[in-house]
Amino acid sequence: MSADFTVVGKPLKRVDSIARATGRITYGVDMKLPGMLHGKILRSEYPHARILHIDYDSALRLPGVKAVVTGADDPGGRFGSRMADQAMMAHEKVRYIGEPMAAVAAVDEETAEEALSLISVEYEPLPAVFDPCEAMKPGAPIIHERMHEYKYWEGWCNPRPGTNIINALVLRKGDVERGFAEAAVVVENTYRTHAIQHVSMEPHACVVQAEADGRVTVWSCTQAPYLLRGSLAAALRIPSSKVRVIATAVGGGYGGKVRLKLEGPAALLSMKTGRPVKMVHTRTEEFIGAVTRHPSVIRMKTGARRDGTLLACRAEVILDTGAYCEAGEVVLWEVVQATPGPYVVPNVWVDGYCVYTNRVSAGPCRGFGWPQVTWASEGQIDALARELKMDSLEIRLKNAFDEGSISASGEVLHSVGFKECLQRVAEAVDWHGRERRPGHGIGLIGFTKMSMPQTASAAFVKLNEDGRIGLMTSAVDLGQGISTALAQIAAEEIGVTLEDIEVAAADTDTTPFDSGAISSRQTFHVGNAVKRAGADLKQQVLAAAATMLEARAEDLEIRQGRVSVRGVPDKSVTLAQIGTATQIRLGQPILGRGAHLDDDIVMPDMATGQSPKPAPYWKYAAQAVEVEVDSETGKVVVQKMVSAHDCGRAINPLSIEGQVQGGAVMGLGFALMEEMIFDEGRVVNPNLMDYRVPTSTDFPDVEAIIVEAPHRDGPFGAKGVGETSTIGAAAAVRSAIADAVEVIINDLPITCEKVLDAIEAQGKEKGLSGS
C-alpha cells in the first residue's frame, strides 16, 4: 500500500533510539543545575477541610532549609484545560487528601522531607463526598463554592454553580421513546468503571529557575510544553512568553503528564530563593497527587429490531473528576458525542455529567473517557445479541459505521475502516470456526474515539549549510515514536532520507506552538504542519536552485540531497551548496513554515449536541480476546489478544505495532489487575506492591493488525492510534468470559471474586429454575 513512498510506511528505527538504549538521554528526573535546591510538598491529610493556620517556623529553622511557601505565596491565578478551577497551592481549603498546601526548598531531598514533618497545620474538617452519584444530589457538600467565578471555554462547558456538577452536556437525535416503542428488544444496564493510575515509569519531575529579570525557565517531562507554559503563566499571573518551557525526555506519560503539577510549587520556591529548584514525585505521590482515570457510572438503555438493527439508545454518563477538572470537562465533552459507540443509531438521548468529589483528581488518561463508554456501549451490544440469539460479530457488522454513515451528532462520516477492523480480528481468532468448550471463550468488540478539536500545530523546517534539514516542532516523544514519524513525513515531502533530518526538542522559546502530545493528535496535526512546512521549504529550495542553475523552478526535482534539472542529471546543485549559498552568500536563509488548524470544526449545539463536524477525525478499532476461566477460582487467563486499528496510513508500522501492543496490555491491566482503592478519599494502595501493573508473565503477546483507510485530511492519509489501543480490552475480556462461563460482569475491574460470585449466583439461579 505504501509502495509509492520512499520513507513513509517503512518500519524504520527510531531516530532517538541509540540515546535511549544506552541510557544517555536526559529525562526530567535526571536534570541537574548548579546551585540547585530540592523541593518537597506538604500534602493535605483531609479530604475536605478549611485550612485555619499553617505554622512552618520550625521547618525554616532546620539547617539546610532555604524557603517555605504556602497558598499565601501563590499569586492566585487559576488554570485548567477548558475550565480554570485550580490553583497551584491550596487556598483557604483543601479538597482532597494529597492536595499541595505548602512546599519546602532545601539543600537536598532528605532535608526537605524532614522539614515537612516540622510544619503543623490546623484544619477544620468539612463534610466530604466520595461518590459521584451522591455528589450530584441536592444537599451534598459543595466542593467548589465559587464555581460561578471560574473562567471556561464556551461550547465546551456548561457548569451548574451551586452544585458539584462542573459540566452537564447532552446529545439528542430523533425520538428516542418512539425508537424504544418500535424495538423488538430493549436492554438496560448500569456499568461502573474504576480509577487507575498511569504508572509512568518516570515520575513527574521538573527543575524551575526563576530568572533575575522576572522570566521563569522550566525543564519538565511534560507532554505538552505550550499548555504547561500557558497554565503556569496564568497561575503566576505573568505573560505566557515570560515562561520558557524546555521539554526533557519523557519516561512515559499516557496522559498523566499533560497538566501543570510540580512546576507550580517549584516556581514559587525558585522565586523566593533565586535558585533553581528541582522536584520529583515519589511513587506514592504519583498515586495521591497526580491524576487518575475517571471512574464512571453509566446507565444505558438500547433497543433493536428483531433483525438486530439498532433503533434507540438512551444513556446517562456520570464521570467522577475528583477535586478538580484536570480536563474532566473535556473528557465528558468527547464521550457525549458518541456514547452509543461506532454504530448507526437513529434515536439517541445522552445526558452527561462531570462531577466533583473529594478525591485525587481524575485527568487525561490514555483513552480519555472512551474505555468507560465503550465498557457500557459494547456491553449493550453483547446484551442485545444474547437477547436476539444473534452472533455478536454479525450484530456489530450490521450496525457498524461505514463510509457515508451518519453519526449520532449528525456528521456524515468518511475514511471509516471499522468493518475491516472487525473482520480482520474475526479472521485472526477464527471466529466462525472457533472451538467451543466450557470454560473457554472468545470476546470480540469494536470501538471508536475522536481526536479532540480546537487544537493547533505549527512546524518550522530549516535548510542547514551542510544540506541537512532541521525539524522544529513542539511535539513531544513519549516513546510513541513521534520524532521518527515526523522526520519520515518531512523526509518524504522534501525528498531526502530519514538520516538527513535532525529533530529538535521542544522549547517554547524557539520551537513553534503546539497543543502537545494529547488526544492521539501529533501524527495528524503536527504531521500535517510538518508536511506543509516541508512543501514550503521545498519551494524555497527550488527557487534558490533555479537561480543557481539558471533554470526554471518547475523543471527541477529533489533527489537524494541533490536538485537537478529533470532529464539533465548532471545539471545539478547539492542541498549543501544551496544551504551554504542561501545562508551565507545570498542572505536568505531557507525556513519552511507550516501549520495545522482545525478550521472546519463546528462546535456542537449546546441544546442538542448536534454538529456536522465535531472532531478532526475519528479512530476505529476492534479487539478480540480469548480466555480460559477457572470456574472453581474465578481466575481468568488471557490466552490470546488481537487488536486491529484503522490508522489511516501507517507512517511507521513498527511504532504503530508497539502502540497497539502496549496499549492493549495497559487495557488488560485496567480490565483484570489494576485498581486504585479508596477509603474515605484516601488511596490505600499507593505503591507498586499493592497496585499491580502487568509484567512480562501476565499476558500473551498481542497480535497487532494495521488497517489503512487513508484519511483525506491526514498527512499521507495518516491518523493517530496511541490512545485507541487501550480502549476495548476490558469490554473484550467481559465478552470472552460471558462466552466461556455465561456470566456477565458490568462492574470493573474484573476480579476473581466477582467472577466466582457471578458463577455461584448463576448456579443458584439455575438450581432454582430447575427445581
Residues that bind another protein (CB under 8 A): 11, 13-14, 17-27, 29-30, 32, 198-203, 249-254, 280, 282-283, 478-481, 654-655, 657-658, 661-666, 687-689, 693-697, 699, 701-702
Query: Which one, 286 or 536, has the nearer CB to another protein?
Result: 286
Query: Which one, 69 or 506, has the nearer CB to another protein?
Result: 506
How far apart CA 105 and CA 3 sit, in angstroms, is: 57
Q: φ and ψ at 359, to 5 degrees?
A: -145, 170
Nearest approach in angstroms of CB 478 to another protein is 6
Starting at the edge strand found earlier in the chain, the sheet holding 120-125 runs: 93-94, 49-55, 120-125
Nearest approach in angstroms of CB 11 to another protein is 8
Residue 68 CB coordination number (10 Å):
25
Query: Which one, 41 or 743, has the nearer CB to another protein?
Result: 41
Give one word for 124, left, alpha or beta, with left for phi > 0 and alpha for psi -120 to 50.
beta
Q: How far is CA 107 from the centre of its chain?
A: 36
DSSP string, 704-757: EEEE----TTSGGG----TTHHHHSHHHHHHHHHHHHHS----BSS--HHHHHH
Q: For residue 406, what is the DSSP state?
A: B
CB 216 within 8 A of CB 274: no
Query: Which one, 400 or 482, has the nearer CB to another protein?
Result: 482
3-state class (DSSP) for residue 51: strand
How far apart CA 442 and CA 429 sit, in angstroms, is: 8
Find the farthest-apart pair of alpha carbons in the chain and give their distance in angstroms, rounded.
Answer: 97
How far apart CA 616 and CA 450 sit, in angstroms, is: 8
Query: Which one, 47 or 256, has the nearer CB to another protein?
Result: 256
Give me the residue label for grid cell 508536511. Answer: 531
Nearest approach in angstroms of CB 15 to another protein is 11
Query: Which one, 84 or 666, has the nearer CB to another protein?
Result: 666
Residue 270 CB coordination number (10 Å):
28
DSSP E strand stretches across 555-597: 556-559, 562-565, 568-574, 591-597
Query: Which one, 677 or 688, has the nearer CB to another protein?
Result: 688
Nearest approach in angstroms of CB 388 to another protein is 35
Determine how β-strand 568-574 pairs with β-strand 562-565. antiparallel
CB 469 within 8 A of CB 590: no
Nearest approach in angstroms of CB 207 to another protein is 14
Nearest approach in angstroms of CB 408 to another protein is 32
Nearest approach in angstroms of CB 689 to another protein is 6
Nearest approach in angstroms of CB 304 to another protein is 35
Query: Which one, 286 or 646, has the nearer CB to another protein?
Result: 286
End-to-end CA distance of the chain: 61
Determine how β-strand 83-86 pairs with β-strand 151-152. antiparallel
Nearest approach in angstroms of CB 703 to another protein is 9
Nearest approach in angstroms of CB 569 to another protein is 34
Nearest approach in angstroms of CB 187 to another protein is 33
Query: Which one, 89 or 664, has the nearer CB to another protein?
Result: 664
How far apart CA 486 and CA 498 sit, in angstroms, is: 10
Query: Which one, 203 or 634, has the nearer CB to another protein?
Result: 203
Query: Which one, 32 or 137, has the nearer CB to another protein?
Result: 32
Q: For residue 422, what is the DSSP state?
A: H
Give me the residue label for grid cell 484503522. Answer: 646
One-letter amino acid of 471: L
Query: Which one, 425 or 665, has the nearer CB to another protein?
Result: 665
Q: φ and ψ at 528, to 5 degrees?
A: -65, -45
Nearest approach in angstroms of CB 219 to another protein is 14
Nearest approach in angstroms of CB 107 to another protein is 12
How far apart CA 761 and CA 736 sit, in angstroms, is: 19
What's the half-sphere exposure (Cβ side, CA atoms, 13 Å) at 683? 31
Query: Which one, 529 or 702, has the nearer CB to another protein?
Result: 702
C-alpha grid cell, residue 42: 506538604
